[in-house]
Amino acid sequence: MVSGAADVGVVGAGIVGLSTAHALLEHGASVAVYESAAPGAGQSAGESRVFRHAHDDPRLVAFARESRAIWGEWEAQFGVELVSRDGVVAIGPAAERRLAVLEGAGGIAAEAIGPAELAERLPLLAAYEGPAMLDESGGAIRVRAAVEALAGRIGDALVADEVISLRPTGWGTVELRAGGVRAEHSSVVVCAGRGTARLARGVGLSLPVGLAAHARVTFAVRDESQRLACLQDSSGDFGEVGTYATPLPGNGRYAVGISETVGVRDDGSFIDPESLASMAERAVHYVRRGLPGLDPDPVDYRHCWVTDLPWSEDGLAVWEAGDILFAAGHNLFKQAPGLGRALAEAALGEPLADDLRPESMLGRPQETRQSAGTPT
């Protein structure tokens, strides 16, 4: 197929690619979205993610606040709940540190809470007396509902093919070649997860994207609960110093993950073949100690690839090569609405926001940037 009909090509139909395509359509642009699998089947797979405002970089807090507002707009537009109303609780020393950042950002309903409210918000949790924080407007992102709504919006713009290469033509377009496609677009946005760095190398960019693997384990809730907040645990009280968890739609199941990732080589092979199973076992041990409201026998597993940037586990950035944009980072699901709008505007000729440029190191903790002399 040779086509020049679509103004912008989007590579990847995960949540960031779908959000970008949706924003482009809102601007009146035509779009083609290239995806070799089903929409949302790669790093956006699963049923739930945590939406949280809490980050160590105030700029990322502001970006999350903008994205949360767009999630609300989408709920009204699509007529479906996309972020639960149960909030996010964080426990441990990171909760105190990040609450200070949230309070400095303003406009976010977050506060320190005591054991009684913690137990009310998250009745699954074992007794805990340490520092705790509630992010009232955080919650569980309804992954399937979001992907289905956005994929339905783009409709026939979805091209079921794998993009092999990108090339500036020299006459103001970008040539895209996929398995059965040769197309030219005025600009291209690449949000292809683990495939982003490969496509960037083809146009002379070396992205500092690390590849790893991760496991989340899902457990059944013992007793039905009308209120189940998401959890971030940096306390170490229950055997792990970095754990997150989120309810699935209906609050009958709860997914738990250890925040660490599993190392892989450049070709994607595991450095330690037992490590993925070990991470899942650690989640089970955590549940036995810290979440007695769950049945500790797993009911489901989600194994996935993770791409991240070296300056922060929450880092994100956008690289430019002429009329091609490459978006990369980790924990992007919650930021997808705001990131998609920014990518769409840049693809249509607006300047890319300074905070999204790689040199800004968006997501890097404020104290680290200050000690390094980076402008805040």
How far is residue 130's CA from residue 242's CA, in Å, rounded to a whole number? 15
Average pLDDT over residues 295-308: 95
DSSP class per residue in 283-338: HHHHHHHH-TTB-SS--EEEEEEEEEBTTBTT-EEEEEETTEEEEEESS-TTTHHH
Check pLDDT > 70 for residue 375.
no
pLDDT in tens, 142-180: 999 999 999 999 999 999 999 999 999 999 999 999 999
**Mind listing the pLDDT tens digit for each residue in 176-217?**
999 999 999 999 999 999 999 999 999 999 999 999 999 999
Does 3.30.9.10 match the CATH number of domain 88-136+210-308? yes
CATH 3.50.50.60 location in the chain:
2-43+146-209+312-371
The pLDDT value recorded for residue 376 is 42
Please give the pLDDT value at position 192.
97
At 367, the pLDDT band (50, 70, 90 cuts) reads low
Q: What proportion of the chain, given as a percentage, has pLDDT over 70? A: 96
Q: Across-strand partners of 110? A: 135
Tell me: the pLDDT tens digits for 32-53? 999 999 999 989 999 999 999 9
Query: How does 249-272 read in b/e, with b if 16+ C-beta sit within 10 Å?
Result: eebebbbbbbebbbebeeeeeeee
pLDDT, residue 268, reads 85
pLDDT at 108 over 60: yes
Mean pLDDT (whole number) for 99-127 = 94
> How much is the pLDDT for 59?
96
Say if residue 366's pLDDT is above 90: no
**227: pLDDT strictly greater than 60:** yes
245 three-state secondary structure: strand
Rama region for 36: left / alpha / beta (φ>0; ψ in -120 to 50; rest): alpha
Tell me, what's the pLDDT at 237?
97
Q: φ and ψ at 28, to 5 degrees?
A: 85, 10
Res 368: pLDDT: 61
- Residue 5: the pLDDT is 72
Confidence label for 127 from pLDDT (cuts 50, 70 and 90): very high
Buried b / exposed e over 293-320, threshold 16 CB at 10 Å, is bbebebeeebebbbbbbebbbbbbbbbe
Q: What is the mean pLDDT of residues 340-369?
A: 92
pLDDT, tens digit (0-9, with 9 covering 90-100), for 1-21:
344 579 999 999 999 999 999
Query: Average model confidence (pLDDT) for the chain?
Result: 94
Q: Which CATH number fits domain 2-43+146-209+312-371: 3.40.1280.10, 3.40.50.720, 3.40.50.2000, 3.50.50.60?
A: 3.50.50.60
pTM to 2 decimals? 0.95
Q: How far apart are CA 346 and CA 320, in angstroms?
A: 10
What are the residue ranges of CATH 3.30.9.10 in the chain? 88-136+210-308
The answer to whether 51 and 68 are in contact (CB under 8 A) is yes
Whole-number Å distance between alpha carbons of 343 and 7: 14
